[in-house]
Structure 1
């Protein structure tokens, strides 16, 4: 059977999503045996996109002309393109301050050196190219990444959960932090797949996996307001990983 040719790239991001793959130490030898890795700057010395590529896996948001150039090259060279992680899929942490002046933000970080920077508001991949599949998370779950690679060997993509984190909380019989402890928890709005890891140890869901399909954002917002949380705090928490919530949306 022909080995799939893959590329793995990082744009504006922390590289944590790619490190999720490199941390699969036991599985790496088999991955290297079953795939031809055409391009992977974080893991290979060669940094040229040669193509053609069966599947490009891309981490990070697009915030520079260089990011966009790499993304376009990969899209044009690949049969399928996978958005890897919350930044690639939703904008993520990189897009938290998109409502503020990009120039002012750059000057705050880089000072006078900001004048030479070519940068724009970080955007998810789908604003520029077609996305064929997504693995959400900050970083993604190891199991979901490996399941995707296994599915690629069969020429398909896996099916991941499309229900909220609350469902996993109930399966684990966790105490509801939102209802029973009156703590801010975004579990009702966020896509499952993490096995409610944070609520299980008493930490409210931060929303790192992005919105579940048909999230009832308005109801969650109303509930949090009734519990005494100010709107600016609610917005700040919800925008941490997904900056484009519609606060009037009802499922």
Structure 2
């Protein structure tokens, strides 16, 4: 009898929210557990089986030299490695250190900073090892997570959207908050996955799921400026959950220019 494929879940620098999304699957998780053998998941159980593992889910960014060494070992043990969440795919909120002096941060936050060993940057997993698949979000969507796990189990490509939140707004019948109310919104450049929750309640998208497949940072910056945001506000809104994403870095950099006309294509 063929043994069930093994699943491992790993944590690096993160808040654990994406691992909790997996635990929050409840009944669906029971069905998944019947198809796989959970061999390493310290958030859920102390039981650990030695690798190699068929699938590894990795949460968190690389922020220490120890992290950089450990992720290489995880990659060696994993036949398929999937990064989950903004920290693992883009460096997370902690990637804000990439734009400042980490030594200054360390001296302000910690009473004994000399005891804290950290890198000057927070980087995504893909900056250190080969990644087979990325699942975006802060936190990830549990439906998308189940889709990825199920697809990998049956040997097909996961069906996860790469288009923008604007598409989901149309599906829900949301009135565009920017057009109707002049509300700043990152929906045109943000990857779908949340179900357009914020626009559904007349709030602009915050970019929780990172950049969509083909974003236009210059046009988005012009749109944000046209809604009344200052250059500093544009920089701040672009440097949150996905501060390390190249598209959002570009948005934060071009956002300091003069307001542009609305005729630029999105």
Fold similarity call, TM over 0.5: yes
Among 213, 238, 250, the alignment partner of 1:246 is: 250
CA distance in 2, matches of 1:157, 1:60: 23
CA distance in 2, matches of 1:2, 1:152: 16
Instruction: Find the counterpart in structure 2 of residue 52 from structure 1.
Output: 52
Question: Does the C-alpha gap of structure 1 residues 42 and 129 become closer, same or farther in structure 2, counting only changes over 3 Å?
Answer: same
Instruction: Find the counterpart in structure 2 of residue 151 from structure 1.
Output: 151
The residue correspondences of 1:38-49 to structure 2 (distance < 5 A) are 38-46=39-47
1:179 to partner: Cα distance: 2.0
Instruction: Find the counterpart in structure 1 of residue 20 from structure 2.
Output: 19
Instruction: Find the counterpart in structure 1 of residue 259 from structure 2.
Output: none
Question: Does the C-alpha gap of structure 1 residues 229 and 52 become closer, same or farther in structure 2, counting only changes over 3 Å?
Answer: same
8 Å CA contact 1:133–1:157 kept in 2: the answer is: no
The CA deviation string for residues 211-245 of structure 1, in whole angstroms up to 9 with x for no partner, is 01110110110122223211111111011122232
Instruction: Find the counterpart in structure 2 of residue 37 from structure 1.
Output: 38
The CA deviation string for residues 59-89 of structure 1, in whole angstroms up to 9 with x for no partner, is 0111012322331111011111101011110
1:163 to partner: Cα distance: 1.0
8 Å CA contact 1:186–1:205 kept in 2: the answer is: yes
The residue correspondences of 1:60-99 to structure 2 (distance < 5 A) are 60-99=60-99
SS at match of 2:10: strand
8 Å CA contact 2:8–2:57 kept in 1: the answer is: yes
Q: Which moved more, 1:116-125 or 1:23-32?
A: 23-32
Structure 1 segments unaligned to the other structure (5+ residues) = none
8 Å CA contact 1:18–1:59 kept in 2: the answer is: yes
Instruction: Find the counterpart in structure 2 of residue 140 from structure 1.
Output: 140
The number of residue pairs the alignment matches comes to 249
Calculate the TM-score normalised by the size of structure 1: 0.93
Runs of 4+ residues over 6 Å off in structure 1:
none
| RMSD between aligned residues | 1.8
Calculate the TM-score normalised by the size of structure 2: 0.88
Instruction: Find the counterpart in structure 2 of residue 234 from structure 1.
Output: 234
8 Å CA contact 1:4–1:152 kept in 2: the answer is: no
Q: Which moved more, 1:176-185 or 1:16-25?
A: 176-185
Instruction: Find the counterpart in structure 2 of residue 131 from structure 1.
Output: 131
SS at match of 2:236: helix
The CA deviation string for residues 25-82 of structure 1, in whole angstroms up to 9 with x for no partner, is 112322222111221111121457x211111110011101232233111101111110
8 Å CA contact 2:147–2:159 kept in 1: the answer is: no
Instruction: Find the counterpart in structure 1 of residue 171 from structure 2.
Output: 171
SS at match of 1:235: helix
CA distance in 2, matches of 1:39, 1:157: 24
